[in-house]
Amino acid sequence: MMNNKSNQKVLLGLSGGVDSAVSALLLKKQGYQVISCFMKCFSDTKDPLTGECSWNKDKKDAQKIAAQLEIPFIQLDLEKQYKKEVILPMIKEYKIGKTPNPDIACNTIIKFPWLLKEAKELGCNFIATGHHARIKKTKTGFQLLQGKDKDKDQSYFLSELSQEDLSHTLFPVGDLTKEKVRKIAKMHKISVWNKLGTRGICFVGKVNIKSFLEKAIPHKLGVVLSSEGETIGTHPGIQYYTIGQRVHPSIGININKPKYLSQDKLYIAKKTGKTLIVAKEDSPLLEKSEIKIKNLHLINNKDKIPKLIQARIRHLGEMHPGRLIKKDNNFRFIPNKSIRAVAPGQFLVLYNKQICLGCGEITE
C-alpha cells in the first residue's frame, strides 16, 4: 500500500449503519479520497410502524452521513441481480430441505464483485466496507483475520472471498471494538452513532423466515416420525424447519406424543423427503462425528493447512477443534468431539486460530 493516500481513491459500501459510517470517517482522516456507495438490493421488507420500505430509511441515513462527511454519494440498484442470484437460489435450497446461508452468497456474488466493478469504473484503488474483520498481507498472499471484537467478528460471512477480493479491500473498523466504533461516531456527532445493527438476511433485514418462505413455497404436508420410526404427528412443510430446532406447536408441528416420550423435549434430527424425524435432546441422531463438505474454498491455497484447526457451523457459533481430511474425493471435517445440530446447506467455516482459512457447504 502506498504511503501517499491522498492520491488514492476508495469506494466505500455505505449501508446507513454506524460501522460503515465510521469506516468512511477513518478513511477520510487517513487521507483517502472517499466515495460512498449505497447498494439497493431488496425493497420488499417494510417497517412495521411506518409502512415505509426499509431500504428507504437506510438510504436516507447513508445520504445524511455522506453529506456530513462531505463525501460523494452514489447508488447501485442491484435488486434484480440480488433476487436472481441470492434470493431465488436460497428459496430453492429451502424447498429441498436444506438450511442455506444467503449472507455468505451475498458477499461473494453481489456486494464485493459489484463494488469492485464500480470502483474500477470510477478509477478507485480500493473498495471498503464496515465489516468487523481484518486483512493481513504475507509472503504468500493475503489472509483474512477475525475482527478484534470477537463478539462482532464477521469473518464467517466473508469466508468465500478470494485473493483478488482481499487485495483490493479495506476493513477500517476491523481493529476496533463495536463500543469504540460507537464512541468515535458519537464524538464526531454522526447521526447513526446509536443505530441498532442489522439482523436477519443480508439486505432483507429481520424477517420471520417461515412467513418469508410461505410466500414463495406452497405448503406440502408431511409426517413426523420418532427416532424409533413411529408416526407421531404432521407438519406443513420441511422448508420451515432446521436441524436442532425444538419441536413445539407454536412452529406449526402437531405432535401426539406416545407415553414413552410424554415428558421429553423433542428436536428435529433429520429431514428426508417430506418427512421430519424428531428425537430426544440426548439422542445420538442429533450429533455428528464427521461432517462432509462440498465446494471447499480456501482463501489462500498457498498456505498449508495445519493438522489441528477449528471450525464453526454458524456465525459466532462455538469453535470446534478438529481435522480436515480428504476421503473418497470429498473433504470431511472430523471434530475432536461430536457437533450437535449440523444442517445440510449450512457453511462450515475453517479457522487456524484468528486466521479464517475458508469454507465449504455441509452436505448429507
Position 297 in a domain: no
**3-state SS track over 97-123:** CCCCCHHHHHHHHHHHHHHHHHHHHCC
Which range marks the domain in which residue 201 is found?
Answer: 5-130+172-209
List the Cα angle 243/203/187 in 5-degree steps.
115
Least confident range from 46-55, 119-128, 185-194, 321-330: namely 46-55
Instruction: Tell me the β-bridge partners of 333.
Output: 291, 324
pLDDT digits (tens, 9 = 90+) for 265-321: 899 999 999 999 999 999 999 999 999 999 999 999 988 899 999 999 999 999 999
CATH code for position 254: 2.30.30
For residues 73 and 204, state if they share a domain. Answer: yes
d(CA 28, CA 40): 24
What's the pLDDT at 4?
64
Instruction: Tell me the β-bridge partners of 10.
Output: 34, 126
Catalytic residue among 37, 41, 106, 124: 106
For residues 187 and 280, state if they share a domain. Answer: no
> Whose CA is closest to 99, among 274, 252, 241, 211?
241
Active site residue 106: yes
Average pLDDT over residues 326-333: 89
What's the pLDDT at 44?
63
Whether pLDDT at 91 is above 50: yes
pLDDT digits (tens, 9 = 90+) for 230-239: 999 999 999 9
pLDDT digits (tens, 9 = 90+) for 192-215: 888 876 655 554 555 567 788 888
Domain count, the chain: 2
For residues 197 and 270, state if they share a domain. Answer: no
For residues 118 and 245, state if they share a domain. Answer: no
Task: For residue 246, give the DSSP letter.
Answer: B
What's the pLDDT at 204?
53
- The maximal CA–CA distance of the chain, rounded, in angstroms, is 74
d(CA 176, CA 152): 10
Instruction: Tell me the β-bridge partners of 138.
Output: 141
Answer with the one of 209, 233, 259 that is the final residue of a domain: 209
Task: Determine the distance from the C-alpha atom of residue 41 to the mean position of all C-alpha atoms in its chain, rounded to a whole number.
Answer: 16
Least confident range from 56-60, 118-122, 166-170, 272-276: namely 56-60
Percent of the chain with pLDDT over 90: 76
Least confident range from 34-38, 40-44, 87-91, 195-199: namely 195-199
Position 40 in a domain: yes
Catalytic residue among 37, 41, 124, 202: 202
Least confident range from 73-82, 90-99, 194-203: namely 194-203
Residues 6+ apart with CB under 8 A from 210: 240, 251, 252
Please provide the distance, in angstroms rounded to a whole number, between the alpha carbons at the two ends of the chain: 44
For residues 274 and 193, state if they share a domain. Answer: no
Do the Cβ atoms of 136 and 143 come closer than 8 Å? yes
For residues 27 and 82, state if they share a domain. Answer: yes
Answer with the one of 262, 286, 310 that is the final residue of a domain: 286
Percent of the chain with pLDDT over 70: 92
Mean of all residue pLDDT scores within the chain: 90
**316 torsion bin: left (phi>0), alpha (psi -120 to 50), beta (else):** left
pLDDT digits (tens, 9 = 90+) for 113-163: 999 999 999 999 999 999 999 999 999 999 999 999 999 999 999 999 999
Position 327 in a domain: no
For residues 199 and 225, state if they share a domain. Answer: no
Average pLDDT over residues 33-38: 97
What's the pLDDT at 50?
37
Average pLDDT over residues 6-25: 94
> Whose CA is closest to 72, among 6, 122, 2?
122
What is the C-alpha R_g of the chain?
A: 22
How far CA 194 is from CA of 17, 29, 127, 183, 258, in Å, comes to: 9, 21, 25, 9, 51
For residues 203 and 228, state if they share a domain. Answer: no
What's the pLDDT at 1?
39
Average pLDDT over residues 34-53: 68
d(CA 292, CA 344): 9
What's the pLDDT at 86?
92
> Where are the strands (E) in the chain, listed by range?
9-13, 33-40, 73-77, 126-128, 133-138, 141-146, 169-170, 222-225, 231-235, 254-255, 266-272, 275-280, 287-288, 291-298, 309-312, 320-327, 330-335, 339-340, 347-352, 355-362
Active site residue 359: no
